[in-house]
Structure 1
Amino acid sequence: MSAAPSTAAAIPPVALAGERDATFARVIWRIVPCVTLIWFLAWVDRVNVGFAKLTMMSDLQWSDAIYGAGAGIFFIGYFLFEVPSNLLLQKIGARKTIMRITIGWGVICVAMAWVQTPGQFYFLRFMMGAFEAGLQPGVILYLTYWLPAHRRGKALSVFVSASAVSLMVGSPLAAYIMDLTQGAWGMKGWQWLFIVEGIPSVVMGLLAWFILTDLPARAKWLSSTEKEHIASELADEERRLGPRQHSFMASLGNSRIWLLIAVFFCIIAGNATLVFYGPSLVREVGFTDIKTLGWVMGGIYACGWAGMLVNGWLSDRAQETRLHTAAAAALGAIGLLAAAWFVGQRNPAGVVAALAVSSAGTMGAIPIFWQLPGQYLSGSAIAIGLAVINSVANLAGYFSPQLLGYLKSTTGSYTRGLTGIALVELLATVLILVFIARPVRPR
């Protein structure tokens, strides 16, 4: 009498694949909506100062140079605390880290409502950057604990695209909040903007504690079979990838890491210009009604969201990231160059169209770029490497608003600043095409 077949052997491969797909679908629906909503709120609170500027500047008698310095100093805090945040995540877990980050920046956002001096403005913007530091690379790292690369790409695209959605939805929302609350309880609309948009972050930080789980092995909401599905696929991926750089200190000597930092720096220079000065550029050419301006900016940022999704889909279909990142960055730079021209010509339709093109390209480059570091790093190197790439490159968010604010104050025009930043973003395309080798596809 022959032995009875094993349970695994008795289950058709298609059925096993279906079970695994169901397991990872459950993981995605548990984790991704939570972290995506948190990232959405992070961007709402990070960039609402761009709309607050429209009336806050005159109320407080501040110059464009003061605003540019305050908008940019966020990224100094971001730079200094991003690596420590990811180190802390490895030590205490993602749940505590994400809760700390989200509640912290929410409280700071609310406190912005009572800022009166440039010094207070600089301090709170610095602290907001310090609290938010580590969120994006932390979530990217967190997803590697749960999803192999072939299941992680779409989840990452959804997560990263929340920044564009927040700009698309947050622009008209900010305009209406400021308009409807102006004068309520003796406070300005821009003050209410910070309060109304900061409180949901505090609430979401508390909810993250109950929703997120640090590791699959600790997930009480997964069965033992489901945990085995996750462990098996992650182990298979580790074997397939083969030897990569595991030591972070050793990876610092890898020129490709510094190349990735330079590329992302150039992309972020363009992105920071769009989010911190987009409303001011549109108002510059005649859109003075704040609600109309909000809808115009929502449409511009909607193009950025579409650029993220379309470029992600094209990249996945072609199984290629290098050229898709380079082409998107080039499109973003071309849009900024066109915006510089149309601002000088006082052409409203041209400025809006140019910013829409730049938004689609610049934002479309970001999620595809984040597929590149995993080609070179693993282990502790990727945990800290992601934070280093993000934190150093985001210093562009400090320099580009400073540059625009300074040149606007000294020349009376945004044209020179936009042109300079467009050329910086175009450099990202050059660096990718010249120095990042085309990957060899497996046969």
Structure 2
Amino acid sequence: MAAQSDPTRISGRAQRDRVYRKVAARLVPLLFVCYAVSYLDRVNVGFARLQMDDELWFSDAVYGIGAGVFFVGYILFEVPSNVVLHKVGARRWIARIMLSWGVISAMMALASSPASFYTLRFLLGVAEAGFIPGILLYLTYWFPAARRGRITALFLAAIPVATIVGGPLSGWLMQAFDGVADLRGWQWMFVVEAVPAVLLGLVVLRRLDDRVADATWLTPAERDLVTADVAAEDDAKAGAHASVRDTLRSGSVWLLGGIYFAVALGIYTISFWLPTIISRSGVESPLAVGLLAAVPYLVAVVAMVAVATHGDRSGERRWHTAVPTVVGGIGLVAVGLTQSSTVWALLALTVAAAAVSSAQAAFWSLPAALLSGVGAAAGIALVNSIGNVAGAVSTSLVGIVADATGSTASSLYLFGAVLVAGGLLVLTVRPERVDEERTPAR
């Protein structure tokens, strides 16, 4: 019996690849769909505002503050949520997150004033806090670093896919259901798009395993292999940011947070303002806006998986993060210069979206390479929290500046410069701390 559970029985590269393909096939599709639904429920307010403005008289500033206050609740509860997940297990905690955010997302249909709009967005952030860093932490339990970049990219590809599918869906729901049962199309959109979150929460409760040891769908030898690979990696990082206190006081963690602030600034600026930029370039139909909004993210899916796959094969992490971050900044500046033309603005948005999506996927290999244990739970959550400050800043500032100047261009120029600075900051991380040598054993 001991020989059957000996991890050396699965030592060849092809056999290891088969085991990790099996793990990925079990976990990634479910987590991918969960994140896609989560992200759509977070940013569909960008489509809703195409009708909400006319009915509720929301200015750019009101919309921007409402979109941004989501991140206040999200940031406040991010670190404690991830620490709780590490202690109680991903299955119950991720299910709780999804069920609560689904209910609150549906309640967005009840928004009738700036105050109710702000309150519901804040509560949605509280409900969703910990989901993304929780999943990123969860993936470190199942995949060693040499395989994690591509897996992380596949998971984060849910962001562009959510827009590819959700943009046209949101536009269609708003157009087709407008006036049904005396509700506006934007209200129907919030209700209909919240249902999958609740259903998926129940699926997670049934299907997700907290630990490799719980995975009865793996053989004993396969479980031992994965456990040994991940444990060997944790042993190599032993003593580095081993406690929550050490992690929160680490200069490296705060540096990573600053870098992710820049990357997230690009992600959320595009996500929340893409429909508005396309609409103001001369496209009036909500469905047409949704279809055009899908174009940049079709390219982004291909780009982010290609960059992450190349990063895994080469073991190089810094340049794979820095270059897309800088290109994303240049893309945002180009959007500001071309937003009066639908064709040119869409081209610039495509470059920016593909670049910042690739930067985000490549970035998450950096904290995963530096942190382990409960320190990883707190560190990943802290980095994500700092990054999500960018969500509040970008959405609010763009709205306020647009009200004052009549254009989003000034904000796009500023955020483009921040992205370029963030890309340069990546290169201050010492390569020996994050880059890897490729070995056939992993």
TM-score scaled by length of structure 2: 0.93
1:176 corresponds, among 172, 190, 202, to 172
- Where structure 1 has 5 or more consecutive residues not aligned to the other structure, the ranges are 1-5
Report what 1:3 is aligned to: none
Cα distance in 1 for partners of 2:187, 2:248 equals 43
Report what 2:234 is aligned to: 238
Report what 1:426 is aligned to: 420
Cα distance in 1 for partners of 2:15, 2:423 equals 42
User: Cα deviations across residues 225-283 of structure 1 (Å, max 9, x unaligned)?
Assistant: 33222222223333445653312212333211111111110111111110111110111
Cα distance in 1 for partners of 2:49, 2:326 equals 29
1:166 corresponds, among 162, 169, 184, to 162
Q: Secondary structure at the match of 2:284?
A: coil
Q: C-alpha displacement at 1:98, in angstroms?
A: 0.5
User: Cα deviations across residues 344-395 of structure 1 (Å, max 9, x unaligned)?
Assistant: xx22211111111110111110010000012322222111100010012101
Report what 2:359 is aligned to: 365
Q: Is the 8 A contact 1:265 1:395 kept in 2?
A: yes
Q: C-alpha displacement at 1:431, in angstroms?
A: 1.4
Q: Secondary structure at the match of 1:395?
A: helix
1:438 matched to 2:431? The reply is: yes
Report what 2:116 is aligned to: 120
1:208 matched to 2:208? The reply is: no
Residue identity over aligned pairs, in percent, reads 37
Q: C-alpha displacement at 1:223, in angstroms?
A: 3.2
User: Cα deviations across residues 57-103 of structure 1 (Å, max 9, x unaligned)?
Assistant: 11111111110000000111110111111111122111010100011
Q: C-alpha displacement at 1:19, in angstroms?
A: 4.7
1:295 matched to 2:291? The reply is: yes
Q: Secondary structure at the match of 2:159?
A: helix
User: What is the identity, as a one-letter code, of the residue corresponding to 1:401?
Assistant: T
Change (3 A) 1:12 1:339: closer
Please identify the structure whose Cα radius of gyration is greater: 1
Moved more, 282-291 or 20-29: 20-29
Report what 1:197 is aligned to: 193
Mapping of residues 211-360 of structure 1, within 5 Å: 211-241=207-237, 243-343=239-339, 346-360=340-354
Moved more, 264-273 or 143-152: 143-152
1:54 matched to 2:50? The reply is: yes
Report what 1:398 is aligned to: 392
Q: Is the 8 A contact 2:150 2:305 kept in 1?
A: no
Cα distance in 1 for partners of 2:9, 2:95 equals 40
Q: C-alpha displacement at 1:428, in angstroms?
A: 0.5
Change (3 A) 1:11 1:198: closer
Report what 2:146 is aligned to: 150
What root-mean-square deviation, in Å, do the aligned CA atoms of Structure 1 and Structure 2 show? Answer: 2.1
Report what 1:64 is aligned to: 60
User: What is the identity, as a one-letter code, of the residue corresponding to 2:267?
Assistant: N
Q: Is the 8 A contact 2:82 2:130 kept in 1?
A: yes
Q: C-alpha displacement at 1:17, in angstroms?
A: 5.2
- Where structure 2 has 5 or more consecutive residues not aligned to the other structure, the ranges are none
User: Cα deviations across residues 170-223 of structure 1 (Å, max 9, x unaligned)?
Assistant: 111111111111111111110010011001110000111111011122233333
Q: Is the 8 A contact 1:113 1:192 kept in 2?
A: yes
Change (3 A) 1:11 1:237: closer
Report what 2:404 is aligned to: 410
Cα distance in 1 for partners of 2:10, 2:86 equals 36
Moved more, 66-75 or 348-357: 348-357
Change (3 A) 1:78 1:232: same
Cα distance in 1 for partners of 2:437, 2:19 equals 27
Q: Is the 8 A contact 1:31 1:211 kept in 2?
A: no
Q: Secondary structure at the match of 2:44?
A: helix
Q: C-alpha displacement at 1:427, in angstroms?
A: 1.4
Query: Number of matched residues?
Result: 435
Report what 1:94 is aligned to: 90
Cα distance in 2 for partners of 1:238, 1:399 equals 35
Cα distance in 2 for partners of 1:222, 1:174 equals 39
Q: Is the 8 A contact 1:47 1:275 kept in 2?
A: yes
Q: Secondary structure at the match of 1:392?
A: helix
Report what 1:129 is aligned to: 125
Cα distance in 2 for partners of 1:411, 1:123 equals 27
Q: Is the 8 A contact 2:133 2:380 kept in 1?
A: yes
Q: Is the 8 A contact 1:304 1:360 kept in 2?
A: yes
Cα distance in 1 for partners of 2:342, 2:15 equals 54
Q: Is the 8 A contact 2:149 2:311 kept in 1?
A: no
Q: Is the 8 A contact 1:83 1:387 kept in 2?
A: yes
1:81 corresponds, among 60, 77, 84, to 77
Report what 2:24 is aligned to: 28
Cα distance in 2 for partners of 1:267, 1:25 equals 29
Q: Is the 8 A contact 1:300 1:359 kept in 2?
A: yes
User: What is the identity, as a one-letter code, of the residue corresponding to 1:341?
Assistant: L
Moved more, 295-304 or 35-44: 295-304
Q: Is the 8 A contact 1:30 1:211 kept in 2?
A: no
Change (3 A) 1:23 1:67: same
Moved more, 386-395 or 285-294: 285-294
Q: Is the 8 A contact 2:308 2:361 kept in 1?
A: yes
User: What is the identity, as a one-letter code, of the residue corresponding to 1:431?
Assistant: L
